Amino acid sequence: MPSNIFRPHFPFFSNTQSEPYVYLDSAATSQKLQLVIDITQQYYQERSVNVHRSSHHLAASVTEQFEQSRSTIQQFIGAKSHKEIVWTKGATESINLVASGLANNYFKAGDRIVVSALEHHANIVPWQQIAEALDLKLDVMPVDPHGVLKLQASLDLISDNTALVAIGHVSNALGNINPIEALIAKAKKVGALTFIDGTQAVSHLAVNVQQLDCDFYVFSGHKMFGPTGMGVLYGKYALLEQLPPYQLGGEMIQQVSFAKTTFQPPPLKFEAGTPNIAGVLGLARASEFIQVHRNSMIEHEHNLYQALLATLLAIPKVKLWGDNNNSICVQSFTVQGVNPYDLAVLLDKRNIAVRVGDHCAMPLMSALDIDGTIRVSLAAYNNLEEINIFGHALIECIGLLTEPNTQIVTENNVLKHKQGELAPIAESIKQAKGWDQTYRQLMLAGKNLVRLPQQYKTATTAVQGCESQVWIRCYLDADKLVLEGDSPSKIVRGLLAVVFEALSGKTAKQVLAFNLADYLAELHLAKHLSQSRGNGLSAVVGKINEYCQSHSL
């Protein structure tokens, strides 16, 4: 696979050269730089000492490197002082730290918190909980039908009663770059604090928090080629001083006596306990790498994104979401008449990793009136050939999912086969060679499913724990189990048909005595199912068993 100048810095790709693995899920987590791995390993192998505590020379040297890393991050985001950089375990912790601190002493009755409809749950739930606890109003900046923030309506929401505006710099679900400059300016006018979730921005855009003049800016290390379990909270120093500590313990204190305890000034005030030292060193390396290569990365990512857009736009029935003219190299899409989960499963079988679902942005999916999208998220290490491979695979998978197919004939899903013989659907799956045929047969099998009428698709029939929506209804007809079910996913409908074929027509006692695990193993199904699909199937079987248990006496 042809390379680019960034790719050799990421060992992930050299490991998979024999069997190409097209990684298009960098917004979930990016691949890690060799530089990051090296410094992390070096710390654990050669310099594993604590920081800020021991006085021996190795501890002093690592403490200096640890504190120097704060200055590296300060430069990376253009902060005024290294004292404004707080180490956390990720963006989620950074958000919770600020939210719980502000909840303690900042808000007053009548205040309103403004968030956007595009937010990751991490930048919704903490604010929502505070609003509930303190009886404040949570206002939601709206999006248009494509998922683009409605700027004027959003600006209009920010009023004299607004105490805080919290918004992502870039939407993780759609890739849109939000107009945070205008929102920050309006928030300042009304005296509101501004909280920016930069988790999806920092590895793609040059960020300068002083120019932005935001009050808080947060991000995670693992989405910028750095370590997991490592994040940053930037806050203006005066504000950090006012926030109470988040956790209490060693290193964040100045003096402890049973009469009184005093705390360190920021940032140490927020860093109780032994920090993720290797993570801090790794994150600093990652940010240096990005800073050195920033311009060429932006140019390369732009080219990749244009190629991705052209590929998607050329495929009929593909609908793109978000603002394609103002986006990082992330694109969400759906395909008319095709379930996104099914598509992602088939792409995965072709070694193409994309993300499917609500992307931890359920309110956004509700606003767009969709269950989820497929998200392709690129990074500087991707290349044009991968987009080409993805494009061809996508066309093939859509073809497979939309091809007209005939039905396997069974009699009302009732298992009618002789002792020792498999039922028709099961037999067709068992005969299938490889995952491609297996999935084809599963989709054919789905056509045999006795579909659940719409009025029965309720919370009672919904199966919890499945990737896609699934409903099943069980009842006994003259002692024999009848099963009906449905799912928007063709593959899930196929799996339901397999299970229903095996269990329908049995008495509750017979169902409980039936070894479904062995039955499915005989069909070689388990090895072709992702873990989440496997878990979903277990949830379905669990629901049927529950019903049979309560009706087996």
Q: Report how far Cα 180 is from the mean position of its chain's Cα atoms.
A: 22
- Residue pair 252/243 in contact (Cβ under 8 Å)? The answer is no
- Are the CB atoms for 441 and 400 separated by under 8 Å? no
Degrees to nearest 5, angle at CA 244 with 195 and 211: 30
CB 390 within 8 A of CB 311: yes
Q: At closest approach, how far in Å is the CB of 153 from ligand PMP?
A: 21
Using CB under 6 A, list all residues that contact ligand PMP: 90-92, 120, 122-123, 168, 172, 197, 199-200, 220, 222, 360
Does residue 214 carry a catalytic annotation?
A: no
414: amino acid identity, one letter: V
Beta carbon nearer to ligand PMP, 37 or 360:
360
| Shortest Å, Cβ 117 to ligand PMP | 13
Closer residue to ligand PMP, CB minimum distance, 120 or 533: 120
Toward ligand PMP, which CB reaches closer, 123 or 545? 123
Distance of closest approach, residue 201 Cβ to ligand PMP, in angstroms: 8
Which residue in 360, 397, 474, 548 is the catalytic one? 360
Q: Give least dist CB 120 to ligand PMP, A.
A: 4
All residues at 6 or more sequence positions from 18 whose CB lies less than 8 Å from its CB, including other chains = none
Question: First-to-last CA distance in the chain?
Answer: 62
In DSSP terms, which residues pair with 85 in a beta bridge? 234
CA angle 315–173–107, rounded 5-degree value: 160
Question: Is residue 504 within 8 Å of residue 491, measured between CB atoms?
Answer: no
Three-class DSSP labels, 179-200: CHHHHHHHHHHCCCEEEEECCC
Q: Are 354 and 344 in contact (CB under 8 A)?
A: yes
31 or 220, CB closer to ligand PMP? 220
| Residue with Cβ nearer ligand PMP (201 or 243) | 201
Least CB distance to ligand PMP at residue 96 (A): 9
Closer CB to ligand PMP, 184 or 529, in the complex: 184
Cβ-based neighbours of 330, under 8 Å, separated by 6 or more:
27, 170, 172, 174, 175, 200, 375, 376, 377, 378
Per the DSSP assignment, residues forming a β-bridge with 113 are 138, 164
- HSE-CB for 216 with a 13 A CA cutoff: 30
Q: How far is the CB of 11 from ligand PMP (least distance, A)?
A: 22
- Shortest distance, position 77 Cβ to ligand PMP, whole Å: 16
Residue 471 three-state SS:
strand
Residue with tokens 């601190």: 101
Report, in Å, the least distance between residue 84 CB and ligand PMP: 20
The candidate with the shortest Cα–Cα distance to 122, out of 268, 207, 220, is 220
Nearer to ligand PMP among residue 202 and residue 516 (C-beta)? 202
Closer by beta carbon to ligand PMP, 49 or else 360: 360
CB environment 392-408: b (16+ within 10 A), e (fewer): ebbeebbebbeeeeeeb
Query: For strand 137-141 and strand 112-116, is the pairing parallel, antiparallel, or unpaired?
Result: parallel
State how far the Cα of 511 lies from the Cα of 424, in Å rounded to an integer: 19
| Shortest distance (Å) from residue 90 CB to ligand PMP | 3
- How far is the C-alpha of 115 from the C-alpha of 352, rounded, in Å? 34
Q: How far apart are CA 309 and CA 478, in angstroms?
A: 57
User: Contact at 8 Å (CB) between 386 and 472?
Assistant: no
**207 vs 463 by CB, closer to ligand PMP:** 207
**To which residue do tokens 């890690």 refer?**
32
3-state SS class at 360: coil
347 closest CA partner among 31, 26, 23:
23
Active site residues: 360
